[in-house]
Amino acid sequence: MNTMNFENKQLSDLLLYIEQQGITDLRLIDAIKAVPREMFLLSSFRTHAYKDVALPINCNQTISQPSIVARMTEALELTDRTKVLEIGSGSGYQTAILAYLCRRVYTIERYRPLLVETTERLKNLGINNVTTRHADGSLGWVEQAPFQRILVTAAAADIPPNLLSQLGKSGVLVAPIGHDKKDQRLTRIRRKKDSLESEDLGPVSFVPLELGVVRD
């Protein structure tokens, strides 16, 4: 089996596995099929691109396993008109999936080297509906608020108040909650008029959201 056929088989198996995990959004399945995950990996890990595993990236961070990306993305309930704030650009893979599904993504990364890499990858893929910022993600992006959807890709004990204040009317925020990786829960917050409704979507394991930290 040549390399191309091997990768296609791995991708087909991955898509089947993701569907078996309960993902039903066909647009999301198409996005995972369309976005080449290998482009977001270090060269030494590209042969693992279509395995359902988290992998290391630069700055001691990780790229989430595809099934987790799918769970978090589906939980956002995106449309092609949605405006999204992403906290933690990382490798840019999750960013690219969001960009495939919504109108515009505003993404914040605290590690400048990661953001430089992400910006270049998105440019090479012809993705032009993403705006990036090097900053403390816990502060959100006041100038572009409110957001219809907010995705946080690092775990904190509680949702930073700045992010909740930037969540628009009927907005949805999805984030891992809990510092200890063994106790983190994927949580969906919905804004309902003057109240917030919380929903537990199950266990996850993410790197911590470092409040007030920006690194060059």
User: Which residue has 């790197």 as its token pair?
Assistant: 207
User: Cα(187)–Cα(173) distance, rounded to whole angstroms?
Assistant: 8
43, 64, 195, 205: the catalytic one is 64
Query: Would you say residue 37 lies in a domain?
Result: yes
Query: Would you say residue 216 lies in a domain?
Result: no
User: Cα(41)–Cα(62) distance, rounded to whole angstroms?
Assistant: 10
Query: Would you say residue 215 lies in a domain?
Result: no
43 catalytic? Reply is: no
Whole-angstrom CA distances from 106 to 12, 70, 83, 96, 200 are 30, 19, 8, 11, 25
Sequence-distant (≥ 6) Cβ neighbours of residue 35 within 8 angstroms = 93, 96, 97, 100, 125
User: Cα(70)–Cα(20) distance, rounded to whole angstroms?
Assistant: 12
Query: Would you say residue 69 lies in a domain?
Result: yes
Instruction: Classify 95 as helix, strand or coil.
Output: helix
**What type of residue sits at position 44?**
S
Query: Would you say residue 48 lies in a domain?
Result: yes
Query: Would you say residue 213 lies in a domain?
Result: no
pLDDT of residue 1: 47
Query: Would you say residue 76 lies in a domain?
Result: yes
Sequence-distant (≥ 6) Cβ neighbours of residue 66 within 8 angstroms = 14, 18, 32, 37, 50, 52
Helix (H) or strand (E) holding 84: strand 83-87
Total domains in the chain come to 1
Query: Would you say residue 212 lies in a domain?
Result: no
pTM: 0.94
pLDDT of residue 3: 56
**pLDDT, block means (10 residues), the chain with 216 residues:** 68 96 97 97 94 95 96 98 97 98 98 97 97 96 98 94 96 92 92 92 91 80
Q: Which residues span the domain enclosing 178?
A: 3-203
User: Cα(80)–Cα(195) distance, rounded to whole angstroms?
Assistant: 26
CA-based nearest residue to 36, from 12, 11, 61, 13: 11
- CATH (domain of 81): 3.40.50.150
Q: Do 67 and 32 form a contact (C-beta atoms < 8 A)?
A: no
